[in-house]
Every structure is written in structure tokens, then in C-alpha cells.
Amino acid sequence: MDLGNTITAQQPAVIWLTGLSGSGKSTIAARVSEELERRGCDVEILDGDIVRNVFPTGFSRQERNEHIRRMGFIAGLLNRHGVWVICSFISPYRESRDFARSQARRFLEVYLATPLSECERRDPKGLYMRARRGEIRQFTGLDDPYEPPEHPDLVLDTSRISVEEAAARVVAAAFREPKGMG
Amino acid sequence: MDLGNTITAQQPAVIWLTGLSGSGKSTIAARVSEELERRGCDVEILDGDIVRNVFPTGFSRQERNEHIRRMGFIAGLLNRHGVWVICSFISPYRESRDFARSQARRFLEVYLATPLSECERRDPKGLYMRARRGEIRQFTGLDDPYEPPEHPDLVLDTSRISVEEAAARVVAAAFREPKGMG
């Protein structure tokens, strides 16, 4: 018997949304949070835009990794106290995402695989335009790499499915029956 | 009726221990944590020595304030999800301690007022000796200021009372009956 699969369906998880700017992370995080709260879960969202004030960071590889390690530490701390934590960070590097996984009691890595061309077409904050003009450097997907997850728990492409559908799939994964017990 | 006083006796708090190096913070934090857990509370300790690995910091006024703001943010986040958080940081400046207070649902500021002479006599980590030799700069109490709390919830001097007594007073404050309802 694989004890790794004997989690109960409602065991709180860190739901880690990773993907390019504009891939749909924050929007999906908000919808998933609503749905989990509707089901009575204790939920916290950690979002790059929300925490920037208290946790400013630079954009070198080292600074980004340190920042994501911190966010992973905080998410894990909450999760170990029974909180569902929805994290919405580009988190481009495998190393610090793996650290975040190591901190959580249960971790779902959700890869927002929306293509760069679509993210750039949306450009909700005008960041791609500024990066193309050279006003922003080290921009993930343009002049800084994004390392896709090798074994994500879920892959979603919001150029092919709606936000509603994407959020529903995350919630289904969060509440899935343990393997072999369904 | 003052709603500020209508907290229930068991409402989880951030218990913030502030004071010089060697004043007894970590030791008291451990004893208080044990006692709260014995009472069935969900407890987390945030300690300078524990978090340093993920949250390294420098020792300028700005760096220390930023660090304590981050710790206060994390403590508040946990506390708002029902966790008792015992924080053990020198936290020498009022500004960032006040920020920490602002983040918590309930906050108890516990001032470890153990005199410098006694802290230096104990010198559990040999830091005072190194600071006196000039190997460490910006050392709180020697060449960096400690700003005592102006309105602490509790003042303890561990040169005059035992660790057991100090911890008992913290627990009593944490579980005190709300004013006017005792």
C-alpha cells in the first residue's frame, strides 16, 4: 500500500500556480479560492502582486529563487496548520518550486501552459510591451528563461479552456479521491 | 461596551517576545509553547535563529525593520488563521514592532527587560564577547539602540524571576479573562 496516496480528499494543500505573466494565474487563484471557501475551507492566497510590498525582490536568478523559497516557506507553514494556500507566482525556476513542494504537507503543482504568444496578446499589465521596448529586463519568456515543471499535477492552457473550466479542474484535482480508493 | 475587550479567553494571539540577546526570549518561547500545546492550542514558534536560513538579514536599521515587518506579516497571517504564534526576536525598533501588532488579530507584546549587565554575563552564544572585541558591529544594547516598548502588555525581568515563573505569567496573560467579564 502506497501511503503517499492515502490522503483524505479534503486534506488541505498548497495549490501552486506557475506560468508566464498573463497566463491566468491570479484570475484562476481567485476563482479557486471562492469555490474552496464555498466548500468551507480555510483559504489564503499568496500572490506576487499582494506580497510585493512586504517582500520586495529583484529579478536576478538568485533573487527570484530566494523570493520563491520564502513564499514556499510561508505557504508550507500555513498548510501545516491546516490552511489551503493558493500561490500565484511566475516562479520560473524548478529549484525553488521544488523547495516550495518540500515545505508543504500536500502540494499540487499547476502549470499554466498558456502559450507566450497568447500571454503577450493579452498583456494585462502592459509588461510585455515595456519589455519589448527594453524598459524591463530579465522578463520571463523573453530574455529570462521559464523552466516548465517536469511532473506537474495539472497542466492548463487558458487559450484553449475558459477560466471557469480551468478553476473547476483545479478544484477537482484538490478534492480528488485518493488513488485506489475512488 | 468596548468591543476591543470582548475577545474570548482562548482567542489565539501573537505573543511577541522582545528584548536584548540573552534576555531569555527563546527559552521562554519554548516553555510557553509547551504549555499552550498541552492546553490543545495550535502553536508555531518564529525565532530569529530558526528563520535565518530562509530569511537572512543585515543589521542596518532599515534591514532590521524590513526583517521584523516580514516576520510580523507571517505571524499575522498565521494568527488570522487561528494559530498561536510565539515570536522571539530582539526586534529593537518600535516602528516594526508596531507594524507586527497591526498584522495580528490579537497581539501581546512581552518586554524582556532583563538588564544588559545580566544578558552580557550570561552571553549564551558568546556574542557580547565578540561585540566587545569589535568582531560584531551594530550589536543591540552596545553600539545599536534598543527602543523599549512604551505600552507592553507584560514586562518580565529574568534576572529577578525564574523561566518557569516568566512563562507562567505569559500564559496567564494569554488566557486572561477579558476585562469587565472576569
| pLDDT tens digits along A105-127 | 999 999 999 999 999 999 999 99
- Over 50: is that where the pLDDT of A3 sits? no
Report the pLDDT value the prediction gives residue A179, as an integer from 0 to 100.
52
Around Cβ A50, how many Cβ atoms within 10 Å? 12
* Distance from C-alpha of B48 to C-alpha of B90, rounded to nearest angstrom: 8
Report the pLDDT value the prediction gives residue A90, as an integer from 0 to 100.
97
Percent pLDDT > 70 in chain A is: 92
Report the pLDDT value the prediction gives residue A178, as an integer from 0 to 100.
52
Inter-residue contact A79 to A14 (CB < 8 Å): yes
For residue A42, the chain B residues in CB contact (below 8 A) are: 81-82
Query: Phi first, then psi: what are they for B30, rounded to 5°?
Result: -65, -45
Residue B138's nearest CA partner among B16, B21, B47 is: B21
The set of residues, in sequence order, having a beta carbon less than 8 Å from that of A159 and lying 6+ positions away, is A114, A115, A118
Report the pLDDT value the prediction gives residue B178, as an integer from 0 to 100.
52
Query: CB B54 to CB A77 under 8 A?
Result: no
> Mean pLDDT over residues A158-177, rounded?
94
The residue among A52 and A68 whose pLDDT is bigger is: A68
Report the pLDDT value the prediction gives residue B3, as an integer from 0 to 100.
45
Question: Alpha carbon B62 to chain centroid distance?
Answer: 19
Inter-residue contact B49 to B26 (CB < 8 Å): yes
Residue A67's nearest CA partner among A37, A97, A35 is: A97
Chain A interface mutation, best of B47, B54, B80, highest count of A Cβ atoms under 10 Å = B54
Taking the CA of residue B39 and the nearest CA in chain A, the distance in Å comes to 17
| Positions of A marked active-site | 91
Inter-residue contact A14 to A100 (CB < 8 Å): yes
Question: Alpha carbon B133 to chain centroid distance?
Answer: 28
Percent pLDDT > 90 in chain A is: 84
E-assigned strand segments in B21-176: 43-47, 84-88, 107-112, 154-156
E-assigned strand segments in chain B: 14-19, 43-47, 84-88, 107-112, 154-156
Inform me whether the C-beta atom of residue B44 falls under 8 Å from chain A C-beta atoms.
Answer: yes
Q: Count interface pairs A-B at CB distance under 8 A.
A: 31
**Distance of CA A120 to CAs A20, A114, A130, B73, B116, Å?**
9, 10, 11, 33, 59
Q: Which of residues 47-106 of A touch B (CB under 8 A)?
A: 54-55, 69-70, 73-74, 77-78, 81-83
Cell of B42: 495550535
The residue among A177 and B85 whose pLDDT is bigger is: B85
Cell of A166: 480551468
Strand order in the sheet with B154-156: B43-47, B84-88, B14-19, B107-112, B154-156
Cell of A66: 530566494
| Positions of B marked active-site | 91
Inter-residue contact A87 to A69 (CB < 8 Å): no
* Distance from C-alpha of A58 to C-alpha of B103, rounded to nearest angstrom: 25
Report the pLDDT value the prediction gives residue B71, as an integer from 0 to 100.
97
Question: Alpha carbon B110 to chain centroid distance?
Answer: 6
What's the pTM? Answer: 0.90
Query: CB A81 to CB B44 under 8 A?
Result: yes
Taking the CA of residue A44 and the nearest CA in chain B, the distance in Å comes to 9
Report the pLDDT value the prediction gives residue A176, as an integer from 0 to 100.
82
Pick the CATH number of A11-174 from 3.40.50.300, 3.40.50.1100, 3.90.1150.10, 3.40.50.360: 3.40.50.300
Weakly modelled stretches of chain B, pLDDT under 50: 1-8, 180-182
For residue B54, the chain A residues in CB contact (below 8 A) are: 69-70, 73
This complex has an ipTM of 0.88
* Distance from C-alpha of B21 to C-alpha of B33, rounded to nearest angstrom: 20
Task: Tell me the per-residue pLDDT of B56-88, one tens digit each, with 9 for 90 and over.
Answer: 889 999 999 999 999 999 999 999 999 999 999
Cell of A172: 477537482
* Distance from C-alpha of A21 to C-alpha of A89, rounded to nearest angstrom: 9
Query: CB A78 to CB B78 under 8 A?
Result: yes
Give me the residues paired with residue B110 across strands: B17, B154
- Over 60: is that where the pLDDT of A87 sits? yes
**At how many degrees (to 10) do helices B94-103 and B61-80 cross?**
20
Inter-residue contact B21 to B90 (CB < 8 Å): yes
* pLDDT band, residue A156 (cuts 50/70/90): very high
Query: CB A42 to CB B69 under 8 A?
Result: no
Q: CATH classification of B16-174 is 3.40.50.300, yes or no?
A: yes
